[in-house]
C-alpha cells in the first residue's frame, strides 16, 4: 500500500470524519467480503430494526449516567 496523497495530519477532526463518511458511502455491497454468519447476523439485525424500529439510549442519557447527573 502506498502513502496517502492526502495530508491526514493536516486535517481537522471534522474534515477527517467527512472523509471517513465519503469513503464509507463509496463502498458497494460487493466490496465487502462477509462470511455467511456475518451476512445472517446483519440480516437478523435489519429485520429487528424493521420490526421494532430504532431502539437504544440517547446520548444525553448516556452522558448523564457517565457524569452521575440524575436524568
Domain ranges of the chain: 34-71
- Which pLDDT tens digit goes with each residue over 24-67? 999 987 888 899 999 999 999 999 999 999 888 989 999 999 99
Distances (CA, A) of 40 to 27, 33, 34, 47, 51: 20, 13, 10, 10, 16
Query: From CA 39, how far away is CA 3, in angstroms rounded?
Result: 32
- Which pLDDT tens digit goes with each residue over 2-28? 766 889 999 999 999 999 999 999 998
* pLDDT for 1: 62
Amino acid at each position: 500500500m502506498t502513502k496517502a496523497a492526502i495530508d491526514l495530519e493536516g486535517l481537522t477532526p471534522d474534515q477527517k470524519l467527512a472523509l471517513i463518511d465519503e469513503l464509507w458511502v463509496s463502498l458497494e455491497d460487493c466490496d465487502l467480503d462477509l462470511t455467511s454468519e456475518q451476512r445472517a447476523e446483519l440480516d437478523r439485525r435489519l429485520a429487528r430494526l424493521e420490526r421494532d424500529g430504532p431502539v437504544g439510549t440517547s446520548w444525553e442519557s448516556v452522558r448523564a449516567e457517565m457524569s452521575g447527573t440524575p436524568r
